[in-house]
């Protein structure tokens, strides 16, 4: 079978690449699956969502019954896709569900995700330790903003293909264990998280799947100081900034959500109004979406 992510195995890569590009959804509509209820997904609905996740590492769901969208229903939905091990993030509550909304006060204030500012391209948990990567993410829109708050989404496997096609050395540079260093997080002189060096692309030994760790933030990221890394990061940023590039754009309406194997994503700035204050529930998981591992894709 071979390993498509092994730079020495051009044959396996070529087969995987061809299959991946042929089956890839290109518009948000191609990724979207309508479901009746969030907490009781039917077999056909589940199959349709998994089909998108296998081909694109993500699906958008549109739930007809918006009333059931509380954190318990979101957890039940996630569990139906094998997402059980919740990442205990700094700001998530006990259930593991974070409420992304503008925080005027409290510990979340000052963090960009809890503001109405735009979020640059990233994968979630790029600052996590290597032993606890975020493999999947769920975003559920409870309320949309008055204006703005659109998400960009890009399957990280497509980013990998684009970079490898330009120059395989870019992949080698981005797989270096010190390609990207997140400096320690200090608050008031106390280190609350140590520095995290790690690769951008890695192959998850648990599943054989490609994992990506990335943030386009110019601040607080230290890139490995060599020409191949600099060129690879510039190439990736160009790809992400390209309005005619492969990224998909979508603005979630209430009762819609995204389930993904932690693909690249961003968010535009938004403006809340008196009747529309954006609220998105977010969960992060150490599990990958069930039945979407790389070997499974190749055999299907």
How many angstroms separate the CA atoms of 67 and 47, rounded?
23
Alpha helices in 175-281, H assignment, sequence order = 227-241
Residues 6 or more apart from 116 whose CB is under 8 A from it? Answer: 102, 145, 148, 269, 270, 271, 272, 278
Residues 6 or more apart from 46 whose CB is under 8 A from it? Answer: 80, 81
Residue nearest to Fe ion (CB): 124
How many angstroms separate the CA atoms of 99 and 71, rounded?
9
Give me the least distance between CB of 211 and Fe ion, in Å please.
15
Give me the least distance between CB of 122 and Fe ion, in Å please.
6
Choose between 102 and 228: whose C-beta lies nearer to Fe ion: 102
Give me the least distance between CB of 131 and Fe ion, in Å please.
20
DSSP assignments along 181-198, one per residue: EEPPEEETTEEEE--EEE
Choose between 87 and 124: whose C-beta lies nearer to Fe ion: 124
Choose between 46 and 89: whose C-beta lies nearer to Fe ion: 89
Choose between 124 and 272: whose C-beta lies nearer to Fe ion: 124
Give me the least distance between CB of 100 and Fe ion, in Å please.
9
Which residue has 């087969």 as its token pair?
15
Give me the least distance between CB of 123 and Fe ion, in Å please.
7
Choose between 158 and 297: whose C-beta lies nearer to Fe ion: 158
- Six-digit token pair at 200? 């951008």
Q: What residues line the site for Fe ion (CB under 5 A)?
A: 124
- Six-digit token pair at 299? 């055999």
């Amino acid at each position: 079978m071979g390993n498509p992510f092994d730079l020495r195995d051009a044959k396996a890569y070529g087969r995987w690449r061809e299959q991946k590009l042929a089956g890839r959804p290109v518009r948000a509509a191609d990724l979207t699956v309508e479901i009746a209820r969030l907490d009781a997904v039917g077999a056909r609905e589940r199959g349709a969502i998994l089909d998108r996740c296998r081909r694109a590492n993500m699906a958008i769901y549109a739930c007809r019954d918006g009333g059931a969208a509380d954190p318990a229903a979101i957890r039940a939905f996630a569990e139906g896709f094998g997402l059980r091990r919740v990442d205990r993030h700094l700001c998530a509550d006990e259930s593991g569900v974070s409420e992304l909304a503008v925080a005027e006060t409290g510990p979340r204030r000052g963090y960009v995700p809890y503001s109405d500012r735009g979020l640059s391209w990233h994968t979630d948990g790029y600052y996590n330790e290597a032993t606890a990567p975020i493999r999947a993410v769920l975003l559920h829109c409870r309320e949309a903003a008055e204006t703005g708050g659109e998400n960009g989404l890009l399957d990280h496997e497509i980013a990998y293909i684009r970079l490898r096609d330009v120059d395989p050395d870019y992949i080698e540079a981005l797989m270096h264990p010190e390609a990207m260093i997140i400096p320690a997080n200090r608050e008031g002189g106390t280190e609350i998280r140590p520095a995290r060096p790690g690769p951008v692309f890695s192959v998850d030994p648990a599943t054989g799947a490609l994992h990506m760790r990335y943030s386009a933030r110019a601040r607080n990221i230290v890139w490995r100081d060599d020409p191949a890394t600099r060129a690879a990061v510039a190439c990736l940023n160009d790809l992400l900034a390209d309005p005619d590039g492969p990224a998909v754009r979508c603005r979630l309406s209430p009762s819609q959500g995204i389930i993904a194997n932690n693909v690249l994503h961003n968010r535009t700035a938004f403006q809340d109004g008196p009747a529309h204050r954006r609220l998105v529930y977010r969960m992060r998981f150490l599990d990958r979406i069930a039945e979407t591992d790389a070997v499974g894709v190749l055999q299907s």
